[in-house]
Structure 1
Amino acid sequence: MTELQIRGKAEVVAGLFDPRDDWPFEARALRDELLQTYGTADMLPDVAGGWIARWPSVNTRCTYARGFRVCEEYVRGRGGHVLAAGFPLADAFARHLETAPTLHRVRGGRCGEMAPTGKPRSDASRANLLSACSSFYTHTVHARAAEADPWLLRSWLPASAMTAVAVPTALAHASLCAAMTATAKARGASHSKIPPDG
């Protein structure tokens, strides 16, 4: 009779399916990019990747990932962390967008090389970017709540975004979300609503 062999925890974990493998290309690309800066110990790559993965449209995923990169670079360039940002930084970012040049392709440059040489964003473009930021922070608050019961918010989170994430500063996220929403509304912009699951 053959004896049952119990595998060690490391062996079991190594063989598990990683749900991030099912993420759309845009979500995986953003996560991989953020991993180069933040590493695997930081939850930002998973939180941001999961947020991008939940959008059904390729265009929305590309637009929101591009907008997130603008926000992340701004926050990091000022010594902050996106998951710990508060109202003052959100307000400063919104004002920064009013004069910041947009990225344009560099003629004769490397493939995909961009430089900040374009005109500042229009009111509508700034509103869309702030809407993306607001959506990201709303997502982090929901992801934080889902830690206690990942099935509780299944109606809000699609299967592609069902990743266990730890966001220790949910209160700061909610504050920044509200700040960005208020800033955009003060400029006469409307925000996108969270898309339905599907």
Structure 2
Amino acid sequence: TLCLRQNLIKHIENLEQLQTLRELDLYDNQIRKIENLESLAELEVLDISFNVLRHIEGLDRLTQLKKLFLVNNKISKIENLSNLQMLQMLELGSNRIRVIENIDTLANLDSLFLGKNKITKLQNLDALTNLTVLSIQNNRLTKIEGLQSLVNLRELYLSHNGIEVIEGLENNNKLTMLDIASNRIKKIENISHLTELQEFWVSRGQSCSPK
């Protein structure tokens, strides 16, 4: 593990000799570009959160990567992840992403975090059949949809959006946590089949036990 948190690093460089490195933590620096990671073929965890990245790039050789954290950057597009087929956790919260896209090769993904972006639609999730946690809080969603293939989903976080109706959860029978607080929902419906539900959040600071 190499931890370089909270420094003033502007460039990723001089890591060529660390070919067996498993974890690299560059949280809270001033990095503008993901680069010079090609030699880190055994890297499993990479955190470049709280930097000033604009693009997801330079990750093609990191085929063993299991966890990728790019929180709080200036990323506007999900891209260049197709080689990361071992990836289990992807955290892209607090960026400028508008569309869920280019993640259909991430079949091993277990957790996807997209909170605090500008996403308007739940889409392009069909390939993520192993997903158990999906968080898209604080976005611009108006409808629950596109979740029919996520049959292993256990936790769904959709608070602080513009959703008006509880729907589209017919195939998500394994849900244990459903957070739809701070939306525009007026009626609790279409959840009676969610027999494993343990927590159900419908308004700020209030949880309801599903009937």
Q: TM-score, normalised by structure 1?
A: 0.24
Q: Which has the higher contact order (CA 8 A, sep 6+)?
A: 1
More strand by share: 2
Q: TM-score, normalised by structure 2?
A: 0.23
